[in-house]
Amino acid sequence: MKTKKILFLFTLVLFISPLTGCSQHKEQSNLKSNNNMKKLTPEEERVIIYKGTEMPFTGEYTDLFNEGVYVCKQCGNELYKSDSKFHSGCGWPSFDQEIPGKVSKKLDADGRRTEILCANCNGHLGHVFYGEGFTDKNTRHCVNSISMEFIPKENVKKDIQLEEAIFAGGCFWGVEYYFQKAQGVKKTEVGYIGGHKSNPTYREVCNHTTGHIEAMRVTFNPNETDYETLAKLFFEIHDPIQVNGQGNDIGEQYLSVVFYKNDTQREITEKLIQQLKNKGYKVATQLREATHFWPAETYHQQYYEKNGGIPYCHSRIKRF
């Protein structure tokens, strides 16, 4: 109890001191530009912009210990998780660890304390103290409630796990051309796969000395599209019945192959191939487990986007 009283008196002195950046202190924080900045109330501006401090034991989050995430009031940047919050008795919300990379630290001009700021917008949060022994981390981020907004666990947006798929259907320029335009696709990259040599070059692949096949790796958001939709696109933008390449591009590097990355992709591809066979297509597309994908040279990436034109050996034909 004695320790808490001493801590309270210490923090109260800091609050009323002009060194805390109270309403008389007009050194504005160096705010970064951000189109998503929230319009602040005069009191929020006093603390976040002009480095002020709210009165102890008055903030709405001082005694809140629900599960969730605390974000910057001004820009929404995630700052602290609820499991790092503890009760220090100082009168302000206390955390012993920030979310990595989300909070920046700067020594005050007087050299006495270390200010903490939102790493995204430089909005003032409070100060950090070390060596007080409250938790095993021996760190206390003393944060103004008014600088934050609490997001309950059930409302926290979950990180989206992007997925990948690899398709080979002749010249990889044309395959990439169509996938770049597909909904939910976040990235495409052409390269080589299925061979026995590390870091193959385009010339080596064309000379049939590596066993590699020209392919395209697509990264997509499963909340916006799915593997089956992309696999159907693959079967509709090339000729899946040609056994020795695509069009006039003949050779092992131009074979039609789906390189599956998991059992789900394999099963979906098998289902689609069977559907095509049921429609009378003599499908030549091979199904192989994905091995290491080697990105092709820079000048091959997004070829048609950079050079204009349309694919000479690919066009879309409705098959499903």
| pLDDT value at residue 159 | 66
Query: pTM higher than 0.75 for the full model?
Result: no
Which residues have CB under 8 Å from 148's CB, separation 6+? 61, 70, 71, 72, 73, 79, 80, 93, 125
Q: Are residues 221 and 140 in the same domain?
A: no
Residue numbers annotated as active site:
142, 171
The answer as to whether 314 is a domain residue is no
Q: 130 and 96, same structural domain?
A: yes
Q: What is the pLDDT of residue 172?
A: 96
Q: Are residues 168 and 280 in the same domain?
A: yes
Q: For helices 172-180 and 227-237, what crossing angle results, to 10°?
A: 130
Do 136 and 184 lie in one domain? The reply is no
Answer left, alpha or beta for residue 27, where phi above 0 means left and psi between -120 and 50 means alpha: beta
For 65-122, how does the pLDDT look when each residue is reduced to its tens digit (9 = 90+)?
999 999 999 999 999 999 999 999 999 999 999 998 899 999 998 889 999 999 999 9
| CATH number for the domain harbouring residue 114 | 2.170.150.20
pLDDT value at 7 more than 70? no
Q: Is residue 316 part of a domain?
A: no
With bands split at pLDDT 50, 70 and 90, how would you rate the model's confidence at 15? very low
Structure confidence at residue 25 (pLDDT): 38
The 10s digit of each residue's pLDDT in 189-209 is 999 999 999 999 999 999 999
Give the C-alpha distances (Å, rounded to integers) separating 257 from 54, 234, 243, 280. 63, 10, 10, 19
pLDDT at 101: 87
pLDDT of 14 reads: 47
Mean pLDDT computed over 293-307: 92
**Average pLDDT over every residue of 8-13:** 48
Residues 141, 113 share a domain? yes
Over the stretch 18-49, which tens digit does the pLDDT of each residue have? 333 333 333 444 444 444 688 899 999 999 99
Q: Which amino acid is at 205?
A: V
**Which domain-ending residue is among 133, 155, 177?**
155
| Per-residue model confidence as pLDDT tens digits over 112-162 | 999 999 999 999 999 999 999 999 999 999 999 999 999 999 888 776 788
Contact between residue 235 and residue 167 where contact means Cβ atoms under 8 Å apart: no
Residue 132 φ/ψ, nearest 5 degrees:
-90, -15
Amino acid 19: pLDDT: 36
Q: Mark which of 155, 190, 223 sits at the end of a domain.
A: 155
pLDDT at 314 over 80: yes
Report the share of the chain in percent with pLDDT over 70: 88
- Domains in the chain, number: 2
Whole-number average pLDDT of the chain = 88
- Both 207 and 124 in a single domain? no
Do residues 94 and 205 both lie within one domain?
no
pLDDT interval class at 312 (50, 70, 90): confident
- 255 and 135 within one domain: no
Same domain, 270 and 127: no
In angstroms, rounded to a whole number, what is the distance separating the alpha carbons of residues 250 and 19? 76
At residue 157, the pLDDT reads 74
For residue 251, the domain's CATH number is: 3.30.1060.10
Domain that holds residue 248: 163-307
Residue-level pLDDT at 6: 47
Mean per-residue pLDDT, 268-289: 97
